[in-house]
A = this chain, B = another copy of it.
């Protein structure tokens, strides 16, 4: 159990041991969910969900996690209905809401906002996305899904595809996977490659040498995990869009080239980059991945509240 965990802001806050401990707890949470019986682990506890930006999946899966634990939820899904619209600072909102809850999950457009929030709260803060910077519970559930399906990260060929420059949640996923021993394949259109500082960190600190290329189909046959993300069409020139759309929109044709036991992941929401025809393929497990947010977030909440 990650006993020293006070808040969860960045995936790299967790030691490898803490990470695996958390996944063990998530497994036991899944057992609780499978029983379909009421659970009172967090009875009397309150989760505050402060979402300054829209979200379905993240907010509702946090709420589901807390309700499944027997706890309760308050908060807002939109800053316009809050004192923020009167100009209140994040620090003041956090200090106030910390008095109304036992744990706070925060989504905020500014990078570093979750870290700042920890300075003003005596209850744990969970970063549910701070601008383009970090979305560490997404990273947690991505890793958990891979581990459940593949049993290990060591030696696994993980292809991360899409806009790797601006799709910043892929950055922490890449670092985490590198740390855990996976082989990394980065597929992105020209101009949207993984930033140099991430490559440098992988190579220098973690001694991982990622393979970098432009057409997903070039290496898709070797991938154990294909992690799709969105490429916003407006970031590409028309010529490049036409050239690469087959690469960054996954259909059955491309899927045909992947290993029979590969898994296809996507953080969702998707807007066209995986065709609906793919959904029926057993390798397409992005909805199972989304579902895994529940046991993982249950594990995180219960750990931070010190109730297990």
Contact = CB atoms under 8 A, between A and B. Distances in A.
Interface of A: 36-39, 43-44, 46, 48, 51, 54-57, 60-61, 63-64, 67-68, 70, 72-78, 80-88, 91-93, 95-97, 99-101, 268-271, 276, 287, 290-291, 294
Given A56-B97, A60-B74, A88-B268, 8 more contacts: A51-B81, A54-B86, A55-B82, A56-B88, A73-B74, A83-B269, A88-B270, A96-B268
Contacts of A294: 99-100
Contact of A99 (B85, B88, B276, B291): B291
A290 B99 contact: yes
A81 to B, nearest CB: 4
Contacts of A80: 54, 78
Contacts of A68: 44, 46
Of residues A38, A56, A101, which shows the largest number of chain B Cβ atoms within 10 Å of its Cβ? A56
Given A54-B81, A82-B54, A270-B92, A97 B60 contact: yes
19 contacts: A36-B44, A39-B44, A44-B70, A46-B68, A48-B60, A54-B82, A54-B83, A56-B82, A56-B84, A56-B93, A57-B96, A61-B100, A64-B74, A67-B74, A83-B269, A88-B270, A88-B271, A100-B291, A100-B294
A29 to B, nearest CB: 14
A83 B56 contact: yes
Contacts of A48: 60
Contacts of A46: 64, 67-68
A100 B60 contact: yes
Nearest to A276: B91
A163 to B, nearest CB: 15
A54 B85 contact: yes
Contacts of A61: 99-100
Nearest to A272: B87
B43 A86 contact: no
Contacts of A287: 95-96, 99
A77 B50 CA distance: 13
A30 to B, nearest CB: 12
Contacts of A85: 54
A269 B60 contact: no
B54 A87 contact: no
A63 B97 CA distance: 11
A290 B269 CA distance: 37
A84 B44 CA distance: 32
